Amino acid sequence: MTQHRDRDSKGRARQARPRDALGRPLPYGADGVEPVPEDPLPPEQTIDLARRLLDEGRPFSAHEVFETRWKNCPPGERPLWQGLAQLCVGLTHHERGNATGARRLYDRGAERLIEYSTGGGPTFGLQLDTIRSCAHERFGS
């Protein structure tokens, strides 16, 4: 049996179901969190929105914001945005009670940030060592 996927007017897959703060789908018609923009934002706006979403307890939504940037950024910036997205997914898993998934995503995200740090690309005001340290404290090793 083929599973139905929500699509936009251009035929691209879109999630029309509402979601809770941790990204879990809710029944159609339920009240969910406000969706995040599907278009990429400039780096500083991406960071500001993701920080706000994290402050609101919405790590999955922060991941979506970083992921959109990652999929639309210059190639040299991909490890930065991918790493940040993966850390947010790790936090999502942590909040959902999935310690194994959280640890795996933390490891992947931290690796991407280390990779990016060694390349000398712009950090847009982010302290990548501090971000990795905070994630390490949360997820442990």
pLDDT tens-place string over residues 67-124: 999 999 999 999 999 999 999 999 999 999 999 999 999 999 999 999 999 988 999 9
User: Of 51, 75, 77, 76, which Cα lies nearest the Cα of 65?
Assistant: 51
* Rounded Cα distance, 126 and 123, in Å: 5
9 found inside a domain: no
In a 13 Å sphere around the CA of 27, the CA atoms on its Cβ side amount to 2
* Number of domains composing the chain: 1
Alpha helices in 76-127 (DSSP H): 78-95, 99-119
Q: Model-level pTM?
A: 0.87
Supply the CATH number for residue 98's domain: 1.10.3450.10
Domain, as residue range, for 133: 43-139
2 found inside a domain: no
Structure tokens belonging to residue 110 = 């931290």
Query: Helix, strand, or coil here: 125?
Result: coil
How far is the first Cα of the chain from the last one, in angstroms, to the nearest whole number?
A: 42
